[in-house]
Amino acid sequence: MKACIVGAGAIGGSIGFGLARAGCLVSCIARGRTLATLREKGLRFTDGGPVEAASIHAVESAGELGVQDLVVLAVKAPALTDVAPLILPLLGPSTIVLPAMNGVPWWFFQGFGGELAGTSLEPIDPRGIIASNISPASIIGCVVHFGASCPEPGLIKALPQRTLIIGEPSGKISERLNVLGEILRKSGYTVKLTDSIQREVWYKLWGNMTMNPLSALTGATMDKILDDPLVNQLCREVMAEAKSVGAKIGCPIEQSVDDRIAISRTLGAFKTSMLQDLEAGRPLELDAILTSVVEIGKLVGEKTPYINTVLGLTRLKARIMGLYPQPASEEPANN
């Protein structure tokens, strides 16, 4: 299998290393120091043991590679509008596109959502640029459940337990889904195939949409967020709103808020990806994680005042720091 990693950071690099060790012909698109390091040292990886290296083909543009069997999209959501047109040389009629990204994806309502099926979310895919460049038929959805970091270009540090949930947006358990699942298992992952990838996306979002923005807003690790009784209560209110929105779009969450918070507590003094992005001066994924939920809430008639509050405060901080675009005008959010 020819596989290309678009975004060789913590998640993309981890998946790329696994694919290379499983025998795939792995390429990475990179620039600057990352490109130079990948060419010199390969893709380096550790999950607590010795650092291992996998030889991969590092290039600066998709045009140097041609059509791939698998394209793993592991860029930050704000970058995807610019990236999507650039990866067209990688995409053929049988190419699988595996977006390993946070938040509500642009393909979320592809063949799903009842009356909302086919809906395009403007905050996620402005003017439909992503959808016009990446065929919906190519997508297999992916939810990432593992922690990883990229302390320097080309070096990935990941936790030993790494789970990927994958599924067709249509819910079909297809032959290509089974094949991809086997390849990812050989790559070192626990893999779950699902007939409702949107529900899995929403469940992960249910935790991310509180801890990520609140950590960016406060600079606090997850344990400190949950230890503060007022902030803990705010998390609960946000999660209750998201649970109500999810129930109306076919993504019910059966788990209690208490149980989900208990899971978050097991991570201890964990620094979220959004806090890491803020500290590194990278754009924040607010639209995929929060704005999209507000937008969906409007579509189904669910008010989201607590989500609006967290979004407004975090967005303002990000704008002041130059990590989120300034608006030409801003409509008042759903109350």
Q: Would you kindly state where each structural domain of the chain is located, as residue ranges?
A: 2-195, 199-320
Dihedral Cα 308, 310, 313, 317, nearest 10 deg: -130
Residue type, 8: A
Length of the chain: 335
Residue 127 CA to residue 106 CA, distance in Å, equals: 11
∠ Cα 238 148 35 (to 5°): 120
**What residue type is 95 in one-letter code?**
T
Nearest to 53 by CA among 26, 90, 32: 26
pLDDT, residue 335, reads 54
Tokens 């086919």 belong to 118
Locate 256 and state its tokens.
């209690």
Residues 136-157 have pLDDT tens digits of 999 999 999 998 889 999 999 9
Residue of 218, 14, 240, 198 whose CA lies nearest to 104? 198
The confidence score (pLDDT) of residue 323 equals 96
* Residue 70 parent element (H or E): strand 70-73
Question: Nearest 5°: phi and psi at 245?
Answer: -65, -45
Q: In what order do the strands lie in the sheet with 190-193?
A: 141-145, 163-167, 190-193
Q: Nearest-CA neighbor of 242 among 271, 199, 197?
A: 199
Query: What is the structure's pLDDT at 270?
Result: 85
Instruction: Look at residue 330 in the predicted model and tell me its pLDDT.
Output: 53
Amino acid at 278: L
CATH of domain 2-195: 3.40.50.720
- CB-CB contact of 148 with 11 (8 Å): yes
**Distance of CA 211 to CAs 206, 239, 314, Å?**
9, 11, 12
CA 29 to each of CA 11, 64, 73, 195: distance values in angstroms, whole numbers, following the listed order: 14, 10, 11, 31
Query: Could you say which of 2, 41, 186, 204 is catalytic?
Result: 204
User: Distance between alpha carbon 222 and the CA centroid of its chain, in Å?
Assistant: 19
Instruction: Identify the pLDDT of residue 333.
Output: 52
Pick among 1.10.3720.10, 1.10.1040.10, 3.40.50.720, 3.40.50.300: CATH of 199-320: 1.10.1040.10
Tokens read off for 252:
């019910």
The answer to whether 186 is a known catalytic residue is no
Residue numbers in the chain where pLDDT is lower than 50: 332
